[in-house]
Structure 1
Amino acid sequence: MKKRQVIFIMTDTQRTDMLGCYGNSAMVTPNLDRLAAEGIRYDKAYTTQPVCQPARSAIFTGSYPHSCAGWSNCMGLSDNVQSIGQRLSDAGIHTAYVGKWHLDGGDYFGLGRCPKGWDEDYWYDMKCFLDELTPEERYRIRQIESIEKYNITEDMTYGHRCADRAVDFIEKHKDEDYFLVMSLDEPHGPHICPKKYVDLYKDYEIPVKENMKDTLEDKPEHHRIWAGDEYLKACREDFKLSPKEFLGCNTFADYEIGRVLDAAAQYEDEPIIIYTSDHGDMMYGHSLTGKGPALYEEITHIPLMIKGFGKGVDKNPVSHINLAPTIFDMFGVPIPKMFEGRSIFEEVKNPEVRCNDYVFMEFGRYEVDHDGFGGYQPLRGAFDGRYKMVINLMTSDELYDLQEDPQEMKNLINEPGYDEIRKRLHEAILDNMYETRDPFRGYYWEDRPWNRITEYKTWDSRLMTRQRENEEYEPRQLDYGTGLPMTSAVRKKGQSDAKFAGKKE
Structure 2
Amino acid sequence: MARIFVVSLNLLQLIVLVGFHSVALADERPNILFVFTDDHATKALSAYDDGLIETPNLDRLANEGMKFNRCYVTNSICGPSRACILTGKYSHKNGYYHNDQEFDGTQQTFPKLLQQAGYQTALIGKWHLGRQSKPTGFDYWHILEHQGFYYQPKFITPWGQVQYLGYTTELLTDQTLAWLEHGRDPDRPFLLMMQHKAPHRPWDPAPDRVTDNMNQVYPEPENLFDNYENRASAAAQAEMRIANDKHMSIHGPDIKAWDQPELNDPNNSRARDWFYGKMTHDQLTTWKEAYLQKNEKYYEGKLSGKDLVRWKYQRFLQDYLSCVSSVDDSVGQVLDYLEEAGLAENTVVIYSSDQGFFLGEHGWFDKRFMYEESLRAPLLVRWPGVTEPGSIEERIVSNLDFAETFLDIANVDIPAEMQGASLEPLLRGTPPKDWRDSFYYHYYEGGGHNVSEHYGVTDGRYKLIHFYKLGEWELFDLVADPHEMHSVYGDVEYAEVQAKMLAKLQDLRVELEVTSDDPPTQE
1:282: Cα distance to partner? 2.0
For 1:5-51, what per-residue CA distance to the aligned partner results, in whole angstroms no more than 9, with x for missing partners? 11111111110000111134540311001111010001111111111
Is the 1:9–1:274 Cα contact (8 Å) retained in structure 2? yes
Determine if the alignment matches structure 1 residue 291 to structure 2 residue 367. yes
For 1:183-235, what per-residue CA distance to the aligned partner results, in whole angstroms no more than 9, with x for missing partners? 10111122233233232211223312222222111222122111599559965
1:289: Cα distance to partner? 2.8
Change (3 A) 1:228 1:69: closer
**2:348 paired residue among 255, 266, 272:** 272
Is the 2:223–2:363 Cα contact (8 Å) retained in structure 1? yes
1:417: Cα distance to partner? 2.1
**2:189 paired residue among 174, 177, 180:** 177
CA distance in 2 between counterparts of 1:129 and 1:214 reads 30
Match in the other structure for 1:21: 47
1:351: Cα distance to partner? 6.9
Determine if the alignment matches structure 1 residue 255 to structure 2 residue 332. no
Is the 1:43–1:313 Cα contact (8 Å) retained in structure 2? yes
**2:416 paired residue among 330, 337, 361:** 337
Change (3 A) 1:423 1:439: same
Match in the other structure for 1:363: 443
Change (3 A) 1:384 1:194: same
Match in the other structure for 1:324: 403
For 1:141-192, what per-residue CA distance to the aligned partner results, in whole angstroms no more than 9, with x for missing partners? 58xxxxxxxxxxx961222222222223333444421211101011112223
Change (3 A) 1:35 1:69: same
**1:282 paired residue among 358, 363, 367:** 358
CA distance in 1 between counterparts of 2:436 and 2:236 reads 33
Change (3 A) 1:16 1:114: same
Match in the other structure for 2:137: 117
Change (3 A) 1:316 1:334: same
CA distance in 2 between counterparts of 1:372 and 1:303 reads 23
Is the 2:357–2:367 Cα contact (8 Å) retained in structure 1? yes
Map residues 367-386 of structure 1 onto 2, 5 A cutoff. 372-374=448-450, 377-386=452-461
Match in the other structure for 2:425: 346
**1:48 paired residue among 74, 79, 84:** 74
Match in the other structure for 1:470: none
Match in the other structure for 2:19: none
Map residues 460-471 of structure 1 onto 2, 5 A cutoff. none
Determine if the alignment matches structure 1 residue 436 to structure 2 residue 512. yes
Match in the other structure for 1:489: none
Secondary structure at the counterpart of residue 81 of structure 2: helix
Is the 2:488–2:494 Cα contact (8 Å) retained in structure 1? yes
Match in the other structure for 1:195: 207
Q: Greater shift after overlay, 259-268 or 408-417?
A: 259-268
The sequence identity of aligned pairs, in percent, is 26
Is the 2:31–2:190 Cα contact (8 Å) retained in structure 1? yes
**Aligned length in residues:** 410
Secondary structure at the counterpart of residue 237 of structure 2: helix
Match in the other structure for 2:229: 217
One-letter code aligned to 2:469 = M
Is the 1:69–1:75 Cα contact (8 Å) retained in structure 2? no
CA distance in 2 between counterparts of 1:282 and 1:348 reads 29
For 1:312-339, what per-residue CA distance to the aligned partner results, in whole angstroms no more than 9, with x for missing partners? 1111111111111111111111110121
Change (3 A) 1:338 1:398: same
Secondary structure at the counterpart of residue 21 of structure 1: coil
Q: Greater shift after overlay, 29-38 or 385-394?
A: 385-394
Secondary structure at the counterpart of residue 108 of structure 2: coil
Determine if the alignment matches structure 1 residue 387 to structure 2 residue 387. no
Change (3 A) 1:297 1:85: same
CA distance in 2 between counterparts of 1:80 and 1:435 reads 25
Q: Greater shift after overlay, 5-14 or 222-231?
A: 222-231
Structure 1: unaligned runs, 5 residues or longer: 131-137, 143-153, 443-505
Secondary structure at the counterpart of residue 145 of structure 2: helix
CA distance in 2 between counterparts of 1:37 and 1:411 reads 37
Secondary structure at the counterpart of residue 408 of structure 2: helix
Match in the other structure for 1:313: 392
Is the 2:239–2:450 Cα contact (8 Å) retained in structure 1? no
Is the 2:120–2:189 Cα contact (8 Å) retained in structure 1? yes
1:427: Cα distance to partner? 2.2
Secondary structure at the counterpart of residue 89 of structure 2: coil
1:114: Cα distance to partner? 4.3
TM (normalized to structure 1)? 0.75
One-letter code aligned to 1:126 = L
Determine if the alignment matches structure 1 residue 102 to structure 2 residue 128. yes
Secondary structure at the counterpart of residue 97 of structure 2: coil
1:307: Cα distance to partner? 0.6
CA distance in 2 between counterparts of 1:56 and 1:265 reads 29
Is the 1:29–1:251 Cα contact (8 Å) retained in structure 2? yes
Is the 1:15–1:298 Cα contact (8 Å) retained in structure 2? yes
Secondary structure at the counterpart of residue 403 of structure 1: coil
Is the 1:48–1:360 Cα contact (8 Å) retained in structure 2? yes
One-letter code aligned to 2:381 = I
One-letter code aligned to 1:264 = L
One-letter code aligned to 1:259 = Q
Q: Which runs of 4 or more aligned residues in structure 1 lie more than 4 Å from their structure 2 counterparts after TM superposition?
A: 138-142, 227-238, 351-354
Change (3 A) 1:95 1:273: same
1:381: Cα distance to partner? 1.7
Q: Greater shift after overlay, 351-360 or 155-164?
A: 351-360
Match in the other structure for 2:310: 239
**1:415 paired residue among 473, 482, 491:** 491
CA distance in 1 between counterparts of 2:204 and 2:307 reads 30
Is the 2:41–2:358 Cα contact (8 Å) retained in structure 1? no
Secondary structure at the counterpart of residue 275 of structure 1: strand
Is the 2:239–2:449 Cα contact (8 Å) retained in structure 1? no
**2:238 paired residue among 226, 237, 242:** 226
1:72: Cα distance to partner? 0.2
Secondary structure at the counterpart of residue 33 of structure 2: strand
CA distance in 2 between counterparts of 1:162 and 1:228 reads 29
1:82: Cα distance to partner? 2.2
CA distance in 1 between counterparts of 2:63 and 2:209 reads 23
1:236: Cα distance to partner? 7.3
Is the 1:8–1:275 Cα contact (8 Å) retained in structure 2? yes
1:284: Cα distance to partner? 3.0
